[in-house]
Structure 1
Amino acid sequence: MTFDSDPTPGRVEAVVAWTENLRAHAERYKTRGNAANEALAQLGERQWSGLAADAFRRRLRTVRDGAQTASTRHGEAGDAAQSWAEAMHATQYDAHRALLAAEEAQNDIAVAEAAMRALTGDHAALLDAVAALESGSAGSSVPAGAELYAARQRAEEAREDLLLAGRRLEDAQQRLEDARALGRRAKEQYDRAEADLARRLEAAHRGALPGSTTAELTSFRSGVGKLGAIDVSGKSVATANMNLLRRLTPDEVKVVLAGNPALQRRFWDNPPDPEAVAGWWNGLTAETRATLLRTAPGVFGNLPGLPYADRDTANRISLAKALKNANLTDDQKAVLAQMERAFEAPADNVPVQLVAFNLFMSPPRVAVGYGDLDACDNTTWCASGMMSGAKDSLNGWSDAAKNLWNAQNSLNVERPGVIAFLEYDNPDPVGVNFSDSAKSGAPRFAAELDGNAATRAVFGPGRTPITVTAHSYGTTMASIALTLTKTRIDTFVMVASAGIDTSLVPSLSVLHADHIYTTAATPDRLAPLGAFVSGRAEPNPTVADPRGISLGGAESFSSDGDGQDLEPVDGHDAIGKTGATSNSGPWTFNTVPSEGHGYFDLRTQSLRNIAATTTGQPDQVSGRLTHTTALADQHNKDAARYATQFAVTP
Structure 2
Amino acid sequence: MEMHADPTPGTVEIAHAWMGNLQAHGAWLQQLAGVMDGVLNLVQPPAWTGLAADAFCARLRGVRDAANTSSARNAEAAEACNTWVNAMWSIQFTADNALEAAEEALADIATQEAAAMTLGSKHAALLLAQTTLEKTYSRYADNPPPPGTHIPTGLELQAARRKAETVEDELRQAQRLLEDAQQRLDQARRDAQTAKDEYEHAESTFVTRMDATLNGAPAHATTPELHDFTSGFGKLTTVDKTGVISTPVDAMLLLERLLPAEMNLLLAGDSATEQFWDHPPAPDVVAGWWNSLEPAIRDAFITDAPGIIGNLPGIPYSDRNRANLITLHDAMKNPNLTPEQKAVLKKMELALNPPVRGVPVQVVAFNLYAHPPMVAVGYGDLDTCSDTTWCASGMGFGAKDALDSWSDAAKNLWNAQKKLGEPHPGVVACLEYDNPDLAGVNVSDAAKDGARRFAAELDGDAAVRDVFGPGPAPINVVAHSYGTTMAAIALTLTHIRVDAFVMVGSAGIDTGLVPSLSKLHADHVYTTAASEDLLAPFGAALSGRAEPNPGVARPLDPSIGGATSFSSDGDGDLLRVDGHNPLGEKGHTTHSGFQNAAPSEDHGYFDPRTQSLKNIAATTTGRLDQLSGTLTDTAKAAAEHNKDITEAQQRLNQSLVEGR
Same fold (TM over 0.5): yes
Q: Partners of 1:389 and 1:308 in 2: how far apart?
A: 22
The CA deviation at 1:645 is 3.8
Equivalent in the alignment of 1:448: 457
Query: What secondary structure, in the 3-state scheme, does the structure 2 residue paired with 1:355 have?
Result: strand
The CA deviation at 1:214 is 2.2
Residue 506 in 1 paired to residue 512 in 2?
Answer: no
Equivalent in the alignment of 2:619: 613
Query: What secondary structure, in the 3-state scheme, does the structure 2 residue paired with 1:504 have?
Result: coil
Equivalent in the alignment of 2:143: none
Tell me whether 224-233 or 568-577 shows the greater mean CA deviation: 224-233
Measured against aligned partners, the alpha-carbon deviations of 1:26-55 in whole angstroms (never above 9, x if no partner) come to x999947998995666568879969x9599
- Partner residue of 1:240 out of 242, 247, 250: 250
Q: Partners of 1:514 and 1:450 in 2: how far apart?
A: 15
Q: Partners of 1:32 and 1:608 in 2: how far apart?
A: 69
The CA deviation at 1:445 is 0.1
Q: Partners of 1:330 and 1:235 in 2: how far apart?
A: 29
Measured against aligned partners, the alpha-carbon deviations of 1:30-85 in whole angstroms (never above 9, x if no partner) come to 947998995666568879969x959969x99xx9xxxxxxxxxxxxxxxxxxxxxx
Equivalent in the alignment of 1:565: 573
Q: Partners of 2:404 and 2:241 in 1: how far apart?
A: 44
The CA deviation at 1:542 is 0.6
Alignment of 1:187-202 (within 5 A): none
Residue 437 in 1 paired to residue 437 in 2?
Answer: no
Contact kept? 2:393, 2:481, Cα under 8 Å? yes
Measured against aligned partners, the alpha-carbon deviations of 1:265-306 in whole angstroms (never above 9, x if no partner) come to 111001000000000000111111111111111101000000
Equivalent in the alignment of 1:481: 490
The CA deviation at 1:644 is 3.2
Query: What secondary structure, in the 3-state scheme, does the structure 1 residue paired with 2:325 have?
Result: helix
Residue 297 in 1 paired to residue 306 in 2?
Answer: yes
Query: What secondary structure, in the 3-state scheme, does the structure 1 residue paired with 2:441 have?
Result: helix
Equivalent in the alignment of 1:638: 644
Equivalent in the alignment of 1:317: 326
- Partner residue of 2:263 out of 231, 253, 272: 253
Q: Partners of 2:426 and 2:23 in 1: how far apart?
A: 51
Per the alignment, do residues 549 and 222 of structure 1 end up closer, same or farther by CA in structure 2, a change over 3 Å counting?
A: same
Q: Partners of 2:246 and 2:372 in 1: how far apart?
A: 26
Q: Partners of 1:243 and 1:642 in 2: how far apart?
A: 58
Q: Partners of 2:415 and 2:197 in 1: how far apart?
A: 56
The CA deviation at 1:468 is 0.1
The letter of the residue matching 1:495 is V
Per the alignment, do residues 249 and 224 of structure 1 end up closer, same or farther by CA in structure 2, a change over 3 Å counting?
A: same
The letter of the residue matching 2:251 is N
Equivalent in the alignment of 1:70: none
The letter of the residue matching 1:639 is I
- Partner residue of 1:575 out of 570, 579, 583: 583
Per the alignment, do residues 55 and 255 of structure 1 end up closer, same or farther by CA in structure 2, a change over 3 Å counting?
A: farther
Q: Partners of 2:251 and 2:18 in 1: how far apart?
A: 39
Alignment of 1:195-210 (within 5 A): none
Measured against aligned partners, the alpha-carbon deviations of 1:104-135 in whole angstroms (never above 9, x if no partner) come to xxxxxxxxxxxxxxxxxxxxxxxxxxxxxxxx
Contact kept? 1:224, 1:256, Cα under 8 Å? yes
- Partner residue of 1:336 out of 339, 345, 349: 345
Q: Any unmatched runs of 5+ in structure 1?
A: 1-26, 64-210
Q: Partners of 1:640 and 1:405 in 2: how far apart?
A: 43
Contact kept? 2:246, 2:275, Cα under 8 Å? no
Equivalent in the alignment of 1:11: none
The CA deviation at 1:643 is 2.8
Measured against aligned partners, the alpha-carbon deviations of 1:440-475 in whole angstroms (never above 9, x if no partner) come to 100000000000000111011000000000000000
Per the alignment, do residues 600 and 542 of structure 1 end up closer, same or farther by CA in structure 2, a change over 3 Å counting?
A: same
Alignment of 1:154-553 (within 5 A): 214-231=223-240, 237-258=247-268, 260-553=269-562
Per the alignment, do residues 249 and 565 of structure 1 end up closer, same or farther by CA in structure 2, a change over 3 Å counting?
A: same
Contact kept? 2:501, 2:522, Cα under 8 Å? yes
The letter of the residue matching 1:246 is E
Query: What secondary structure, in the 3-state scheme, does the structure 2 residue paired with 1:589 have?
Result: helix
Q: Partners of 2:613 and 2:476 in 1: how far apart?
A: 15
Equivalent in the alignment of 1:624: 630
Contact kept? 2:380, 2:427, Cα under 8 Å? yes
Query: What secondary structure, in the 3-state scheme, does the structure 2 residue paired with 1:419 have?
Result: strand
- Partner residue of 1:590 out of 578, 590, 596: 596
Per the alignment, do residues 646 and 40 of structure 1 end up closer, same or farther by CA in structure 2, a change over 3 Å counting?
A: farther
Q: TM-score, normalised by structure 1?
A: 0.68
The letter of the residue matching 2:608 is L
Q: Any unmatched runs of 5+ in structure 2?
A: 1-16, 26-73, 88-195, 215-219
Equivalent in the alignment of 1:554: 563
The alignment covers a number of residue pairs equal to 469
Q: Which has the larger radius of gyration?
A: 1
Query: What secondary structure, in the 3-state scheme, does the structure 2 residue paired with 1:494 have?
Result: strand
Contact kept? 2:19, 2:82, Cα under 8 Å? no
Q: TM-score, normalised by structure 2?
A: 0.67
Contact kept? 2:248, 2:279, Cα under 8 Å? yes
Measured against aligned partners, the alpha-carbon deviations of 1:223-244 in whole angstroms (never above 9, x if no partner) come to 2221221126999710111011
Q: Partners of 1:54 and 1:602 in 2: how far apart?
A: 60
The letter of the residue matching 1:624 is T
Q: Partners of 1:55 and 1:407 in 2: how far apart?
A: 59
Measured against aligned partners, the alpha-carbon deviations of 1:131-181 in whole angstroms (never above 9, x if no partner) come to xxxxxxxxxxxxxxxxxxxxxxxxxxxxxxxxxxxxxxxxxxxxxxxxxxx
The CA deviation at 1:516 is 0.3
Contact kept? 2:245, 2:279, Cα under 8 Å? no
Per the alignment, do residues 493 and 435 of structure 1 end up closer, same or farther by CA in structure 2, a change over 3 Å counting?
A: same
Per the alignment, do residues 55 and 401 of structure 1 end up closer, same or farther by CA in structure 2, a change over 3 Å counting?
A: farther
Query: What secondary structure, in the 3-state scheme, does the structure 2 residue paired with 1:397 have?
Result: helix
Query: What secondary structure, in the 3-state scheme, does the structure 1 residue paired with 2:478 have?
Result: strand
Equivalent in the alignment of 1:127: none
Q: Percent identity?
A: 57
The letter of the residue matching 1:629 is A
Contact kept? 1:56, 1:224, Cα under 8 Å? no
The letter of the residue matching 1:577 is E
Q: Partners of 1:268 and 1:312 in 2: how far apart?
A: 16
Alignment of 1:66-105 (within 5 A): none
Query: What secondary structure, in the 3-state scheme, does the structure 2 residue paired with 1:431 have?
Result: coil
Contact kept? 2:391, 2:427, Cα under 8 Å? yes
The letter of the residue matching 2:531 is T
Equivalent in the alignment of 1:600: 606
Query: What secondary structure, in the 3-state scheme, does the structure 2 residue paired with 1:418 have?
Result: strand
The CA deviation at 1:248 is 0.7
Q: Partners of 2:353 and 2:206 in 1: how far apart?
A: 39
Q: Partners of 1:228 and 1:241 in 2: how far apart?
A: 13
Query: What secondary structure, in the 3-state scheme, does the structure 2 residue paired with 1:276 have?
Result: helix
The CA deviation at 1:215 is 1.9
The letter of the residue matching 1:273 is A
Contact kept? 2:260, 2:305, Cα under 8 Å? no
Measured against aligned partners, the alpha-carbon deviations of 1:318-363 in whole angstroms (never above 9, x if no partner) come to 1111111111111101101111110110001101000000012110
Equivalent in the alignment of 1:201: none
The CA deviation at 1:251 is 2.0
Contact kept? 1:55, 1:224, Cα under 8 Å? no
Per the alignment, do residues 644 and 311 of structure 1 end up closer, same or farther by CA in structure 2, a change over 3 Å counting?
A: same
Q: Partners of 1:297 and 1:212 in 2: how far apart?
A: 31
Q: Partners of 1:640 and 1:582 in 2: how far apart?
A: 37
Alignment of 1:33-44 (within 5 A): 42=83
Per the alignment, do residues 266 and 40 of structure 1 end up closer, same or farther by CA in structure 2, a change over 3 Å counting?
A: farther
Q: Partners of 2:478 and 2:82 in 1: how far apart?
A: 50
Per the alignment, do residues 412 and 47 of structure 1 end up closer, same or farther by CA in structure 2, a change over 3 Å counting?
A: closer
